[in-house]
Structure 1
Amino acid sequence: MGWIYLLLAGCIEVAFTTAIRYTDGFTKLWPTALVLVLAGVSFYLVAKSTATIPLGTAYAAWGGLGAAGTAVIGILYFGEPVTAWRLVFLTLLIVSIAGLKLVTD
């Protein structure tokens, strides 16, 4: 169940980091409120995941999922550049997260 919590936390992290784009420096109320709520839910789910996943593994996987997901959203929806090196390192990040899952009891 811990990995399910962690996967959900990573997806919500992608949502809240993407929503940051719409806060205009945290000056717009509703986008800022959305970021804060989503961040709180994401942190809660990470905390729940640490009941069965070591803290270091959970944090690394959560951060990696969020970073990779946010980068993909940037490419797909915001016209961020797609380069071979960027794809290589995103792939390495995803493989590293899968590796953490494989080596965690």
Structure 2
Amino acid sequence: MKDWWKIVIAAVFEVGWVIGLKHADSMLEWLGTAVAVYVSFYLLIIAGRTLPVGTAYAVFVGLGSAGTVIAEIVLFDEPINPAKLILIGVLLAGVAGLKLVTDQGGEEEWNGSH
């Protein structure tokens, strides 16, 4: 479970650097963006040592995407689009589903033949 938390924290930092790429204006903001890039990918890489990489990356990107859209609405007055919010909900449901069908050891459950 600890490695999944690393993915969640990495996604939070991903939101930070994605917003920084769009809104950074000062050297300090660009430095914060660079630190966020480093931390997010560092956590993703170390979590990927024990989690299945494809699932970990999908969860990382899904949470980061949803977080970025929500942060743009909350922090930068992006207009609220109900269809976009519904699709974010679907995305988060998919991310939760991926997490539920993936065990800590990295093997997805498979009920069919390979």
Partner of 2:42: 44
- Does the residue aligned with 1:52 lie in a helix, a strand or coil? coil
Partner of 2:110: none
> Aligned letter for 1:56?
G
CA distance in 1, matches of 2:92, 2:64: 11
Aligned Cα RMSD in Å? 1.2
Give the unaligned 5+ runs of structure 2: 104-114
- Normalized per residue, the structure richer in helix is 1
Over the matched positions of the two proteins, sequence identity in percent amounts to 37
- Scaled by the length of structure 2, the TM-score of the pair is 0.83
1:2–1:51 Cα contact (<8 Å) kept: no
CA distance in 2, matches of 1:77, 1:44: 26
4+ residue segments displaced more than 3 Å: none
Q: Is 1:103 paired with 2:104?
A: no
Q: Is 1:79 paired with 2:80?
A: no
Kindly tell me the number of residue pairs found equivalent between the two proteins: 102
Q: Which moved more, 1:76-85 or 1:39-48?
A: 76-85
1:11–1:66 Cα contact (<8 Å) kept: yes
> Aligned letter for 2:79?
P
- Does the residue aligned with 2:63 lie in a helix, a strand or coil? helix
The structure with the largest alpha-carbon Rg is 2
Partner of 2:109: none
Partner of 1:69: 67
